[in-house]
Amino acid sequence: MRYKLFGRSGMRVSEICLGAMTFGGESGFGAAQDECRKIFDAFIDAGGNFIDTANMYTGGTSERMLSEFIAAERDRLVLATKYTNNMQPDDPNAGGNHRKNMVHALEASLKRLDTDYVDLYWVHMWDGTTPVDEIMRALDDMVRAGKVLHVGVSNWPAWIISYANAIAERNGWTPFSGMQLQYNLVERSIEADFFDLARFQDMAITPWSPLAGGLLTGKFNRDADEKAREGARLTTTRWSPITDEKLDVAEKATEIANEIGCTTAQVALSWMRQNDRATVIPIIGAKTVDQLKENLACLEVELDDTQIQALNEIGAPTPTYPASLFVNPHIKRMIHGEMADRIDNPHDPR
């Protein structure tokens, strides 16, 4: 296990993050406490130190389980949790990003985690209602109170994240140091804006669903029957539809896995781990310790340039306007003239 700097925070985090969304059976695809303990211990033994959860995961069970698991070495771990989503559906103020919910949610998370601080506090969703300056000021207050060390943002539009950090920097408040976003071989929409944002503002990206809910495990394809899909999160989540194009990508990953003697999941995770456009730290979850160990074995898999290029090309998102202009050779020649192809530009969209 190697370690990466988590954006502008300076924290050293393991190159793989353990996601605790499966800690507890309330979600329908989680694991019991004994198995979760084995998963946690295996991750720590492999050199992992970055743990991600949320107040809403398995109704709070995930945080309560982690309180027991982290107790012996709390200060060695980078512990992240989130707030936004409503934990009390009959209370309109128990959800959203406003200060009232933030304060209540953080106190409740600290109690469940049995700790007096979290290393990283994520804003889980964009709520569409709370002014950005209110969110950033309230987060900074949590940092100054010592209950939060660093802050991150999940599932927000790129322009709002950029605006939020500009407000924070202008006022001397704590900016976001990382973004948690959906990203994998079959869902690459964030490459258009978020990678540049991460690079220019020194933020890490921690992708959720790096295996596309099971689609990139090699256990699901056009010919898979229901038994092969049993227990897969594909059957219980609604993030995005399965298309022929996505199946093409998954099958290419399986083809490469067969060539080099590893699993499809290891190929998908290695492709992400070897990304050179941003600091990318995939979050992996597991229902069994064997599943975790199999996925951690991606650390021993190195894809060659040809394999990476093949995966990049088959799953490449179609650029949308105005990004589509910047990759158009004709437009480049209009701007730079005949020298367009001879100008080395590290910011050139790829």
Q: Write the pLDDT tens digit of every residue in 191-205.
A: 989 999 999 999 999
More confident residue, 9 or 330: 9
Contacts of 156 (CB under 8 A, 6+ apart): 123, 125, 126, 164, 179
What are the tokens at 163?
């605006």
The whole domain housing 261 covers 3-306
Q: What is the pLDDT of residues 204-225, one digit of tens each?
A: 999 999 999 999 998 876 665 5
Same domain, 258 and 286: yes
Which residue out of 3, 57, 117, 183 is catalytically annotated?
57
Same domain, 161 and 264: yes
Same domain, 293 and 325: no
Whole-angstrom CA distances from 179 to 25, 51, 162, 278 are 27, 15, 11, 11
Same domain, 282 and 350: no
Same domain, 278 and 334: no
Is the Cα dihedral 31, 33, 34, 40 positive or negative? positive
More confident residue, 350 or 53: 53
What are the tokens at 67?
């309180």
Contacts of 141 (CB under 8 A, 6+ apart): none
CATH number of residue 76's parent domain: 3.20.20.100
Q: Which amino acid is at 120?
A: L
Residue 234 pLDDT level (bands cut at 50, 70, 90) = low
More confident residue, 238 or 113: 113
Contacts of 132 (CB under 8 A, 6+ apart): 160, 163, 164, 167
Q: What is the pLDDT of residues 142-168, one digit of tens each?
A: 999 999 999 999 999 999 999 999 999
* Number of domains observed in the structure of the chain: 2
* 107-136: average pLDDT: 98
Same domain, 249 and 330: no
Q: How high is the pLDDT of residue 236?
A: 42
pTM exceeding 0.85: yes
Q: How high is the pLDDT of residue 350?
A: 54
pLDDT at 329 over 90: no
Q: Is residue 208 domain-resident? A: yes
Q: How high is the pLDDT of residue 347?
A: 66
Q: How high is the pLDDT of residue 228?
A: 52
Q: What is the pLDDT of residues 97-117, one digit of tens each?
A: 999 999 999 999 999 999 999
N-terminal to C-terminal alpha carbon distance within the chain? 28
Known catalytic residue at 57: yes
Same domain, 191 and 62: yes
Same domain, 262 and 126: yes
Q: What is the pLDDT of residues 40-92, one digit of tens each?
A: 999 999 999 999 999 999 999 999 999 999 999 999 999 999 999 999 999 99
Q: How high is the pLDDT of residue 237?
A: 45
* 267-276: average pLDDT: 94
